[in-house]
Amino acid sequence: MKYHPIDSNLFIKNRKNFMAQMKPKSLAVFNSNDIYPIGADSTMPFQQSRDLFYLSGVDQDKSMLLLFPDAVEEKHREILFLTETNDHIAVWEGEKLTKEKATETTGVKTVYWLKEFDKIFFELMTQADTIYFNTNEHYRANVETETREDRFIKKTKAQFPAHSWAKSNPILQRLRSVKDPIELDIMQQACNITEKGFRRILDFVKPGVMEYEIEAEFMHEFLSNRSRGFAYTPIVASGKNACVLHYIENNQQCKDGELILLDVGAEYANYSSDMSRTIPVSGKFTKRQKEVYNAVNRVKNDATKMLVPGTLWKEYHEEVGKLMTSELLGLGILDKADVKNEDPDWPAYKKYFMHGTSHHIGLDTHDYGILWEPMQANQVFTVEPGIYLPDEGFGIRLEDDVVIKENGEPHNLMRNIPIEADEIEEIMNK
Ligand code: GLY
Ligand code: MN
Ligand code: MN
Stretch 160-166: mean pLDDT: 98
Structure-model confidence comparison of residues 86 and 348, the more confident one: 348
Structure-model confidence comparison of residues 337 and 87, the more confident one: 337
pLDDT at 361: 98
Tell whether ligand 1 has an atom less than 6 A from the beta carbon of residue 384.
yes
**What tens digit of pLDDT does each residue of 305-323 get?**
999 999 999 999 999 999 9
- φ, ψ of residue 322 to 5 degrees: the values are -65, -40
In the predicted model, is pLDDT for residue 237 greater than 90? yes
**DSSP 8-state secondary structure symbol assigned to residue 208:** T
Tell me the CA–centroid distance for residue 399 and ligand 2, in Å. Answer: 6
Assess contact for 354 and 245: CB atoms under 8 A.
Answer: yes
Q: Residue 93's pLDDT band (boundaries 50, 70, 90)?
A: confident
What is the number of other CB atoms lying within 10 angstroms of the CB of residue 430? 8
Stretch 138-150: mean pLDDT: 95
- φ, ψ of residue 17 to 5 degrees: the values are -65, -40
In testing the pocket of ligand 1, which one of 355, 367, 382, 397 has its CB within 8 Å of the most ligand atoms?
Answer: 382
Which overall architecture, per CATH, does domain 181-428 show?
Alpha-Beta Complex (3.90)
pLDDT at 313: 96
Considering only CA atoms, which residue is closest to atom 4 of ligand 1? 274
Tell me the CA–centroid distance for residue 263 and ligand 1, in Å. Answer: 7
pLDDT at 88: 87
- Give me the amino acid identity at 99: K
Q: What value, to the nearest 5°, has the Cα angle with vertex 198 and ends 399 and 356? A: 15
Stretch 211-216: mean pLDDT: 98
**What tens digit of pLDDT does each residue of 29-73 get?**
999 999 999 999 999 999 999 999 999 999 999 999 999 999 999
Question: pTM value?
Answer: 0.97
Q: Residue 398's closest CA among 344, 355, 336, 361?
A: 355
pLDDT at 408: 86
Q: For the chain, what are the domain ranges?
A: 9-176, 181-428
* CA distance readout (Å), 30 to 139, 148, 186, 346, 405: 20, 10, 23, 41, 31
- Return d(Cα 389, Cα 377) in angstroms, integer: 36
Count of CA atoms in the C-beta half-sphere (13 A) of 131: 24
What is the CATH code of the structural domain delimited by 9-176? 3.40.350.10
Question: Average pLDDT over the chain, rounded to whole?
Answer: 97
**What tens digit of pLDDT does each residue of 338-394 get?**
999 999 999 999 999 999 999 999 999 999 999 999 999 999 999 999 999 999 999
**What tens digit of pLDDT does each residue of 264-294 get?**
999 999 999 999 999 999 999 999 999 999 9
